[in-house]
Amino acid sequence: MNSILMDVLRGKTTSRPPVWMMRQAGRVLPRYRALRESHTFHELMHDPDLCAQVTLMPVEDLGVDAAILFSDILVIPVAMGASLEWSDHGPVFTNPLAQYDAPSKLIHPDPSRLEYIYHAIDRIIAQRNPDTPLIGFCGAPLTVLCYLLQGVSSKHDFPQAVKFFYSHPQETRRLIDQVVELTIEYALQQVAHGVNAFQIFESHAGLLPEEMYRELFLPAVARIGKALKEKNVPVIFFPKGIGYNLKYITPDMCDFISVDWQTDIVEARRQTDPNIGLQGNMDPRIFYAPKEVIRAKLESYIPFFAAHPNWIFNLGHGVLADTPVEQLKWTVEWIKNTNWNHDKI
């Protein structure tokens, strides 16, 4: 595969950073919005043709260097038996598990409920340009458990889930094991069906005290990362809000860390193991600013890339639904057309 993203993930030095954006599939693209008029999110995920179309759309319409599977991290709670409905405003859990004393007994993992996703991956692999890498993904155990235990939390602080971690430590460990086991099977199936790289989304790493995250949840991420690395698939870990725990992420868990917009990228580089590459971390809200502001931010990454070429351009969290698409296209073009080595000449 002739792919700048795969080259950087494999440790090669390239003339520019690769570019893709979290939440690039769906939400902002006009062609996606048009499809959403006649199909629900659930339909778009479940129909292999539609799923392949939406997955490849950002490569065609934005010019990014990779596709990410169009699906959701919440497919794992669903495959564990959680009652989840997709409303027009997002997911709705009708029976959150934090109200029970032993939720692990209510969970019935059924891997066959994930099979439709593998059919979609087959379709994407058949339809893509062979040089376009496909990124598979899953949620990390803490983030998945937040939804499983509490459902959606309006302020993203998941008080019921955190209360459960403190009040039911044994059950918490059982639930983590259940999520990890199904997630590893799911991740390895994605690999067997042809994904080229894999991202683990921990959107709520900042929810817990650093010590608790490090002791309880980071080892669970490591189990997933190691299983993928054994298959020689590059792993990117996005631990949003992880703070000083960056220091405790080791190269056996992942190859790259996707840095959130809260953290200065130079500081993240200082704290992270030198054998781990970085991805990120432009604030997705910067697209509301005029082009000069965006350009100045992009230019600030040039000396960073010159010093640390193991870097993938991305955002510090997902693209927001009301982002002007023109700004995204312009940013991708800027990254592809800029001379990133002029400091070295």
Residues that bind ligand CP3 (CB under 6 A): 22-27, 36, 41, 68, 70-74, 90-91, 137, 143, 152, 201, 203, 318
Q: Is the Cβ of residue 207 or residue 305 nearer to ligand CP3 in the bound state?
A: 207
Provide, rounded to whole angstroms, the least separation between the CB of residue 15 and ligand CP3: 26
Residue 160 C-beta: closest distance to ligand CP3, Å: 16
Decide: 23 and 319 in contact? Cβ < 8 Å. yes
**Look-up: residue for tokens 């790289």?**
197
Nearer to ligand CP3, 296 or 321 (CB): 321
Nearer to ligand CP3, 261 or 304 (CB): 261
- What order of strands is seen across the sheet that includes strand 67-68? 67-68, 134-139, 197-202, 235-239, 256-259, 277-282, 311-315
Closest CA to 66 of 136, 14, 19: 19
Q: Least distance from C-beta 343 to ligand CP3, angstroms?
A: 32
Question: Distance (Å, rounded) from C-alpha 332 to C-alpha 277?
Answer: 20
CB of 246 to ligand CP3, least distance (A): 18
Q: Rounded to an integer, what distance in angstroms lies between the CA atom of residue 335 and that of residue 337?
A: 6
Task: Report d(CA 296, CA 314) in Å as an integer.
Answer: 16
3-state secondary structure of 85: strand
Identity of the residue, 262 or 338, whose beta carbon is nearer to ligand CP3 in the bound complex: 262
- Within 8 A by CB and 6+ apart from 115, the residues are none
Residue entry with tokens 């220091």: 247
- For residue 320, the 8-state DSSP code is P
Radius of gyration of the chain (CA): 19
Tell me the β-bridge partners of 237.
Answer: 200, 257
Least Cβ distance, residue 26 to ligand CP3 (angstroms): 3
Give dist(CA 148, CA 74) in Å, integer.
9
Cβ 263 to ligand CP3, closest distance in Å? 15
Task: Give the residue with the Cβ less far from ligand CP3, 91 or 309.
Answer: 91
Q: Which is nearer to ligand CP3, 105 or 156 (CB)?
A: 156
In eight-state DSSP terms, residue 120 is H
* Smallest separation, CB 157 to ligand CP3 (Å): 13
Handedness of CA 203, 206, 207, 209 (dihedral sign): positive
Nearer to ligand CP3, 239 or 318 (CB): 318
Q: Which of residues 90 and 130 has its CB atom nearest to ligand CP3 in the complex?
A: 90
Mark out the alpha helices in 136-274 (DSSP H runs). 141-150, 159-167, 169-192, 210-212, 218-230, 265-271
Kindly state the DSSP code that residue 91 receives in the 8-state scheme.
E
Distance of CA 340 to the CA centre of its chain: 26
Which lies closer to ligand CP3 via its Cβ, residue 305 or residue 313? 313
Write down the least CB distance from residue 117 to ligand CP3, Å.
11
Closest separation between CB of residue 203 and ligand CP3, Å?
3
> In the structure encoding, which two tokens stand for residue 304, read together?
């960073």
- β-strands 67-68, 256-259: how paired? unpaired
